Copies of this chain bind each other. A is one copy, B any other.
Amino acid sequence: GTLNAEELNIVDFGARPDDGSDDTRAVRKAIQACQAQGAKRLVLPKGRYDFYPEFATEMYFFISNNDEGLKRVAFPLVEMRDLVIDGQGSECCFHGFINPFILDGCHKITLENFSVDYARPFHSEAIILGHDAEGMDVEIREGFPYKVHRGTLLFTGGQEEDGPLTTVSQGEIYGSSHMLEFDTEKRETAYLANDFYFSPVNGYPAKKLDGRKVRIRVPELEGVPGNTMVFGPNHRNFPGFVVSDCADVLFRNVTIHHAGGMGILGQRTHNVTVDHCKVTPSHGRMVSTTADATHFVNCTGKIALTHNLFENQKDDATNIHGIYVQMAEQSGSDEVIVKLKHHQQHGFDFLRPGVQVELVHARNMMTYATTTVKAAERLNKECTKLVLSSPLPDEFQPDDVLAEVLADSEVTIANNVVRNNRARGVLLNCRGKTIVENNYFHTPGAAILFAGDSSYWFEQGGVRDCVIRNNTFDNCLFGVWGKAIIDFKAGIREDKEISRYDKNIRITGNSFRVFDQSTLLNAYCVDGLIWNNNTVERTNAYPSRDKPQPPYVIEFCDNVTIDGKAYQ
């Protein structure tokens, strides 16, 4: 303990910076002391701290859009109140299969002034040497240990094998099941590069060559010699920060160099601010987090992302959405078994008595009723049996979906830099007021995507009040993830003439720099969109693609005006 019970110092609990020793137990003790004493601040004096799974706290956790599991957690913050963790510029280095931070049921937490990294990242990187009809030769970069055993390339933790292989052998395998080519010079996904997916494997058919060179025996592989092949992990087990069922959480001056999953994942949380943070790779690595930089699911209150750098993450900068469950089986007039369909949503318990829900036709995404949950019995992580406060209406159809009415929600995305990542910039799927302003986007896919679907990702969207202003869209769309720089693609399969999923959008004062005649705006099933005072400038940043595209594609929309000109 310290004299001032308001502030505790992890060194007083046995943490030793800069020596490589495991500081996990010190953190556990310090957190327990914070809770016991009601301390308001926990300080990590500037230095490097190391965290190993061996003695870490364990908890089974369901993490939306990442992978559930029994996790070892370095910073398990459970039902904490009113605490600042101040890293004072420290580096937190994680070793092996350990989760950095899980916040569960906390109120008013600030995390500030430290960085998170892994000694061995969950993805791997190699330089492409060439390819032919038999496969591709690569040279695996230092820092990404691997082995080729009996015809399979497996990435590893670099540990020595202990003991002979037996029926129960387990190795520290860094499983991988997909590849993506990056431009080594530009440090971004290669021009028009596409994901190369395998059926769920953990390694690749391969042959060892000299040194760190390996021949991957997959004839379909292509890539430019000298470019970097990134081998993506076959899991999202290790997101950087999980914020679950919390309120009033602030990230300030936190840097995430790596995570095996998303950087920050918020779920069922009220008010999250991410301010002056960075998601950026370390040690010359091509990739930072192996999935989205940030992601928010069924959150309420205000989500604010301000003054951040999100770069080289292997998916979007953010996605703020709800979750649809499928109404799998009606078991009574007011009873229905609902099912979480996407496996990375399993265990997402948001259906509790009193929750207001909307009933939606899957085929046209139209809400046809709202009601309230009267009782919920969880059968397992997929299925929950609901009793509703009113009978299912006549419109109910099998495979309809249901979601929480997330009325009280608001999003501000301002003054961020988003660049060099895989896929899109920001996915806007929040019903409350959404402002996207003064951001810089250089993304291979759509910079801004309005999504929502009820047949594959089961993500609830549909903006109602959205402003996109004074942003710079700098040579976006050099990849394959999107039809337009600002793209709408609600999963509406029928009734397009009447279904209007996104509403009331103003796009104004933005600057578009484009390397060919890209589509600036692709609007689909929108009601109310104003486009004005945006500028477009041509560049030579990339080769032009096949054929020029129309700047505005407006399909199945009402009340759209482009610089004063009405569409439809």
Q: Is A70 an interface residue (CB 8 A)?
A: yes
CB nearest to A67 among chain B residues: B168
A167 close to B200 (CB less than 8 A): no
Instruction: For A73, give the chain B residue with the smallest CB separation.
Output: B380
Contact of A218 among B150, B197, B315 (CB under 8 A): B150
Min CB distance, A235 to chain B, in Å? 9
A381 in contact with B70 (CB, 8 Å): yes
Across the interface, name the chain B residue whose C-beta is closest to A178: B167
The docked-state distance in angstroms from the alpha carbon of A236 to that of B168 is 8
Over the window 296-331 of chain A, the binary record of Cβ atoms lying under 8 Å from chain B Cβ atoms (1 yes, 0 no) is 000000000000000000110000000000000000
Chain A interface residue count, CB cutoff 8 Å, equals 55
A482 in the interface (beta carbon within 8 A): no
Query: Please, which residues of chain B bring their CB within 8 A of the CB of A60?
Result: 60, 70
B152–A201 touching, CB < 8 Å: yes
CA distance A168 to B232 in the complex (A): 11
Residues on the B chain within 8 Å of A431, using CB: none
* Interface pick from A50-58, A250-258, A411-419: A50-58
CB interface residues, A 373-419, toward B, < 8 Å: 379-383
CB-contacts of A152-174 with B (<8 A): 152, 154, 163, 165-171, 173
Known contacts A70-B381, A205-B151, A217-B151; is-contact A165 B199 (Cβ 8 Å): yes
Say whether A167 contacts B204, CB under 8 Å: no
* Interchain CA distance A232-B195 in the complex, whole Å: 31
Are B232 and A383 in touch, CB under 8 angstroms?
A: no
**Partner pick for A380 among B72, B165, B380, CB 8 A cutoff:** B72
**A463 beta carbon closer than 8 Å to chain B:** no
In whole angstroms, how far apart are the Cα atoms of A315 and B167 in the complex? 10
Q: A205-B217, A343-B168 are in contact. Are A173 and B200 (CB under 8 A)?
A: yes
A154 touches B201 (CB 8 A): yes
B151 contacts A173, C-beta separation under 8 Å: no
Contacts of A236 in B (CB 8 A): 168
Tell me the minimal C-beta distance from A58 to chain B in angstroms.
4
Whole-angstrom distance between the Cβ of A185 and the nearest chain B Cβ = 25
Instruction: Choose among B55, B154, B220, B382 the residue that contacts A379 (Cβ–Cβ < 8 A).
Output: B55
Do A163 and B456 form a contact, CB below 8 Å, given A168-B344, A217-B151? Answer: yes
Taking a contact as CB atoms under 8 Å apart, the answer to whether A152 and B70 are in contact is: no
Would you call A198 an interface residue if the criterion is a C-beta within 8 Å of the partner chain's C-beta atoms? yes
In chain B, what residue has the closest Cβ to A422? Answer: B167
Judged by a CB distance under 8 angstroms, whether A202 is at the interface is yes
Q: Which 10 A-B pairs have the closest CB atoms?
A: A165-B197, A151-B205, A205-B205, A58-B380, A149-B199, A171-B200, A151-B218, A173-B200, A150-B218, A150-B198
Chain A to chain B contacts (Cβ below 8 Å), 9 pairs? A55-B383, A57-B379, A58-B380, A60-B60, A60-B70, A151-B217, A167-B232, A167-B314, A200-B202
Contacts A152-B204, A202-B202 known; 4 new A-B pairs at CB < 8 A: A60-B60, A166-B197, A200-B202, A201-B201
